[in-house]
Homo-oligomer: A and B are copies of this chain.
Amino acid sequence: MLKEMLIKNRSYRRYDAGFTVPEETLCELIGLARYINSSANKQALRFRPVCEAALREKLFAVTRWAKLLENYSGPQEHERPGGYIVICRDAAVWPNAATLEKDVGVAAAAITLGAVEKGLGCCMINNFSAQGCREALELPETLEPALVVAIGKPAEEIILEDAKTGGDTKYYRDENGVHHVPKLSLDKLII
């Protein structure tokens, strides 16, 4: 059931760093993104799997995590993801970056749901240095990194809960370190 997969598909920020995601698994996930609906079928997205430890470290250094958590600077060394897929726009195929943003989201959904199906977890990281990412991965100039998807074996509990009336949607960690994510009720989303 898709609903269960969507509920399981949370933004994990603590992983078992001892588990490296095999490159083959990352490529299988990219293979899912091959089938997505693409604006004018241009297929202007390119995907960089990252599983080698030294590269993961370099990439991690240019990402920023969970800006809503106070006194938090991202996963500690033993909590870091065992792999990444960096989604890039290929300007040589389609120069208008803005048009491709929705495609990036659709691709990220396919990849992260695919990870859930494999018993893994992800975090879509929009807050990163594109220039730093390009340098770390030695990407060609025509490729613009659009989204970093962290992937790994989750090592935290995340609870979806109903946002309270008045509706602060800020996520938080409770005293036991459990991560809570308040979601608006359906009637708030429907116009």
Contact = CB atoms under 8 A, between A and B. Distances in A.
B98 A102 contact: no
Nearest to A146: B102
A37 B124 contact: yes
Contacts of A139: 191
Contacts of A74: none
Contacts of A151: none
A56 interface: no
B43 A183 contact: yes
Interface in A49-83: 49, 67-68
A117 B190 contact: no
A123 B1 CA distance: 22
Chain multiplicity (copies): 2
Given A88-B191, A102-B104, A105-B104, A2 B47 contact: no
B106 A32 contact: no
B2 A32 contact: yes
Contacts of A124: 37, 102, 106
A109 interface: yes
18 contacts: A2-B114, A3-B35, A6-B32, A9-B37, A34-B186, A39-B126, A41-B170, A41-B171, A46-B191, A47-B189, A49-B190, A98-B101, A102-B102, A102-B124, A105-B107, A109-B109, A109-B110, A137-B191
Given A40-B67, A41-B170, 12 more contacts: A3-B32, A30-B189, A37-B124, A39-B126, A42-B169, A46-B190, A48-B190, A101-B104, A102-B124, A106-B124, A109-B113, A139-B191
